Amino acid sequence: MTDVILFKPQRELSAEEHLNAFIRFAQSELTTFGTDLDFNSNEWEVRSYLASLGIKDTYSGIRFLYFSHSKGGRERRLLSPISINFAKAYVRYKAATKPTSAGSFSHILRALRTLDLALVAAGVESLTKCSAAILDQAVALLRDANRHTFYNTAYALQTLARFLDENGLVIYPIGSWVCPARGTRSGSGDRSGKLFESNRTSKLPSEEVLEALPQAFRLATYPRDVIVTSVTAILCAAPQRINETLALPVDCEVEAVSPNGRKMLGLRWRGSKGAADHIIETAWVILNCAEGLLSYSILSTPAGVSTAPKPDQ
């Protein structure tokens, strides 16, 4: 990917001037989707862009339109003049600043289309007059349209609102607007290709962090540091759920015999979410971690006993 050029708003310009400057910037200075992209076209071919990210997808075009239902059937309608040029600029800018998958394009476009409908319904003549009330109306339209894609599209709408506010493209403060309704995250995330691998790798700790963990564990002396480094060490040795780690019983240390008859050291582990209780084989150092946790957590036992419900009293 080429070097990213960021849009930088100027304080002395009005929201309308910022909006027009952003559209010109995306049209003339960005090269994402190709230098020969016809910005004025209402349908963009992006198959080569997706291929550059290692994504093999039948999704090949971005259409700045939506389908409306009437007595004569489905009718294709372009986004209104209020937002169509901004929609094109925003999609190109998002793809230029962050690799965007086909699924993400769908959520972004759905958010733009829904906001456009809300703007038209509100009777405003410019995107710069987008307000929290209009965003709430867009959420209502989203909920009525498709509950399965509601969560991801609402999140894209929230990101869009923050972008408009932070770059001075609206006259009302909408940067802190939060979707007023909860949805269900769809399970259709991209789980293949270079983009997925890049996102997955970015969440892993670096080599420096991994090397620092044992040093932090050895140097920990204060209760807070001992607890944090001990829990981290246990999770490294037994990658289970954090709630299971915090629910380790007082008698968690155990000497057991493996199925092949070998003696082993382990932790008595309480399963959650339907998992059965079991024993995790581990090493002495992890048992030391458990002892460290026990030595400090045992101090809270009297307080817990004193505040526990007493039905007989």
**Pair 194, 238 in one domain:** no
- Across 201-205, 234-238, 251-255, the highest mean pLDDT is recorded for 201-205
Joined together, the tokens standing for residue 293 give 């946790």
Closest CA to 213 of 235, 197, 192: 235
Number of structural domains found in the chain = 2
Q: Is the pLDDT of residue 276 over 80?
A: no
Do 39 and 143 lie in one domain? The reply is yes
Within-domain flag for 214: yes
Phi, psi of 233 (to 5 degrees): -65, -40
Say if residue 176 is in the same domain as residue 213. no
Choice between 9 and 278, residue whose per-residue pLDDT is larger = 278
Residue 10 lies inside a defined structural domain of this protein: no
Alpha-carbon distances, residue 35 vs 22, 26, 27, 84 (angstroms)? 18, 11, 10, 20
pLDDT, tens only, 34-45: 888 999 999 998
Q: Is the pTM of this model over 0.75?
A: no
124 located within any domain: yes
Q: Containing domain of residue 177, as a range?
A: 15-200
The answer on 290 and 223 residing in a single domain is yes
Confidence of residue 187 (pLDDT cuts 50, 70, 90): very low
Mean per-residue pLDDT, 230-242: 76
Does residue 249 fall inside a structural domain?
Answer: yes
2-22 pLDDT per residue, tens: 555 666 566 556 899 999 999
| Closest C-alpha to 32, from 58, 54, 52, 18 | 52
Same domain, residue pair 22 and 160: yes
User: Would the pLDDT of 69 be above 70?
Assistant: no
CB within 8 Å of 235: residues ≥ 6 apart: 242, 245
Of 268 and 177, more confident: 177
Alpha carbon separation from 225 to 145, 217, 222, 288, 291 (Å, rounded): 50, 8, 5, 15, 14
Report which of residues 104 and 170 the model is more confident about. 170
C-beta neighbour count of 223 within 10 angstroms: 13
- What are the tokens at 177? 């607007």
Residue position matching structure tokens 């380790």: 248
Q: What is residue 227's predicted lDDT score, i.e. its pLDDT?
A: 82
Do 216 and 158 fall within a single domain?
no
**Closest by alpha carbon to 141, among 100, 165, 110?**
110
Averaged pLDDT, 83-101: 89
Is the pLDDT score of 169 beyond 90? Answer: yes
Residue 26 DSSP one-character state: H
Q: Taking Cα atoms as reference points, which of 174, 79, 90, 191 lies closest to residue 136? A: 174
Gap between the Cα atoms of 194 and 67, Å rounded? 32
Residue 119 has pLDDT above 90, yes or no: yes
Q: What's the pLDDT at 248?
A: 76
First to last CA, the chain: 70
Same domain, 254 and 112: no
255 phi/psi in degrees, rounded to 5 = -105, 120
